[in-house]
Amino acid sequence: MRAVVSLEAVKMMQKSQFRYSVPSLSSIFLLASLAVGSCALPAAPNGGPRDQTPPIILESSVAMGSVNVRGNEISWRFDEFVVLSSPQQNFFSSPPLPAGTTYELRGKTFKVAWPEPLMEQSTYVFQWGNTIRDLHEGNILKGVQWVFSTGNMLDSGEIQGRVVNPWTGEGVKDAAVCLYPTRNHWHGDPVLNDSCVFNIANYATRTDDSGYYTFSFLRTDTAYAIRAFADADGNNKLSPGELTPIGYLPDTWVPWDSPWKASDGPVDYLPPILLLDQKAIPDSLLAWEPWGADSSGTLKLQWTHGCGPRTAVDGELSSPEGLPFILQLKGKTGIYAEWASDLPCVDHTEVLTGLPPGSYTLQAVYDRNANGLLDAGDYWSGQTPETRIFATEKIEIKANWEVETHWELPRNNPISWEFH
């Protein structure tokens, strides 16, 4: 059985870095009001600067933030003629709209209609993605999120996090992130299993260019399982033929009510979801022969790991036991040398001679299962990918020259939040 973890429990262990601002509900209302009260900039005469202003919403049949909403459609009128861009893939609704929902554009009005009643006592969040752009210049109306409720109040829970490639440490752009409630409030159905990814998610969003995702207006009395994957057809589920890695958090998570925020952006409330590109291939260890003495370089390398003060989490020091790691020296064509250790404290110096001149980098693999490999993990067996970190500075090896460098590996893995 999966544990239920409150977001409050991880608040103290975060190593959060703020990236961008997520507006509060009042800010969203203000922005919507400004949009409705504004007018589009007129197109410049021929020879003038290109019009870069996206379409502006003038009015909607269901006001932003409305409650007790009934009916089977919603429409928006714009200040100029617009075109639709694949609304079935770009327009997201959480919870999903009923099957048979249609998207229609007539002149300057965009209408969404559904054939069956919406779920009762539910907050609906429409994310437009790249659905709307103006007719002449193709300016996309980005960042629109339209919220209303079929009950007498808007839900206030929020979940934020990041999807990361564990082998590069970089955020994964445009990944589908889906939430699955562990119990169904509308029908009383219990729990879910790992095959939930084949069902349309109750709540779905996409990561931004840096891999961050945000869910707002969630129920706060529900724990959610979180999954991430590449969703080529945009239907918020894994379809037949979509053989893609699946990232996940191993527990279930309860949204924050009125979450803690900073003025300059959201935080990584949750541990990162590790999602590996299925095309990624680990570096190979080369069988290289040192060059001659007249054209060789020498590297004196010292590294330390886990020997400094241990970090406290919830008032307790991290375990002194060492997690196996592999240190690798990477050159232009592959790995030139590697060293492995599972000791809780490592302070080691190595001298390599006969290195071909060129640029090198240091990277460390956190080898959780101590098999000497960088493993991609497997969702179906509950194994997350192993992670890799990189030294920030390149090492320049010159012929007949000795270079010294030192790398202090962090005890707390900056990618996975694991303690080593």
One-character DSSP codes across 30-73: HHHHHHHH--PPPPPPTTSPPP-PPP-EEEESS-TTB-S--SSE
Res 345: pLDDT: 79
How far is the C-alpha of 399 from the C-alpha of 228, rounded, in Å? Answer: 47
Q: How far is CA 207 from the centre of its chain?
A: 5
3-state secondary structure of 295: helix
237 domain residue, yes or no: yes
What are the φ and ψ backbone dihedral angles of 374, each rounded to 5 degrees?
-95, 105
Same domain, 90 and 124: yes
N-term to C-term CA, the chain: 26
24 domain residue, yes or no: no
Last residue of a domain, one of 105, 123, 154: 154
What domain range is 124 assigned to?
38-154
Res 354: pLDDT: 85
Res 86: pLDDT: 85
CA angle 79, 81, 87 (to 5 degrees): 105
Same domain, 319 and 396: yes
Burial 169-203 (b: 16+ CB within 10 A, else e): eebbeebbbbbbbbeeeeeeeeebeeebbeeebbb
What are the φ and ψ backbone dihedral angles of 355, each rounded to 5 degrees?
-75, 135
Last residue of a domain, one of 278, 304, 322: 278
pLDDT in tens, the chain (420 residues): 334 444 343 333 333 333 333 344 444 443 444 344 444 444 445 556 777 889 999 999 999 999 999 999 999 999 999 998 888 878 889 888 998 999 999 989 999 999 999 999 999 999 888 888 888 888 888 878 899 999 999 999 889 999 999 988 899 998 999 998 886 444 444 456 788 888 888 898 889 889 999 898 998 888 888 999 988 877 888 887 777 789 998 888 888 875 444 434 545 578 899 998 766 777 777 776 665 545 578 899 998 877 765 555 555 555 545 678 889 999 888 888 888 888 777 888 999 888 888 999 999 988 888 888 888 888 888 888 888 889 888 999 988 889 999 998 876 677 776 544
How far is the C-alpha of 214 from the C-alpha of 159, rounded, in Å? Answer: 6
How far is the C-alpha of 101 from the C-alpha of 211, rounded, in Å? Answer: 29
pTM of the model: 0.73
CATH number at residue 401: 2.60.40
Same domain, 338 and 394: yes
Res 171: pLDDT: 92
Q: In terms of Cα–Cα distance, which of 319, 331, 323, 398 is closest to 360? A: 331
Q: Please give the sequence-ordered ranges of beta strands (E in DSSP) within 244-287, or none if there are none.
A: 246-248, 252-254, 256-257, 273-274
Same domain, 99 and 193: no
State the total domains in the chain: 3
The count of C-alpha atoms lying within 13 angstroms of the C-alpha of 294, restricted to the half-sphere facing its C-beta, is 0
26 domain residue, yes or no: no
Q: In terms of Cα–Cα distance, which of 401, 418, 277, 403 is closest to 329? A: 403
How far is the C-alpha of 409 from the C-alpha of 306, rounded, in Å? Answer: 7
Res 261: pLDDT: 46
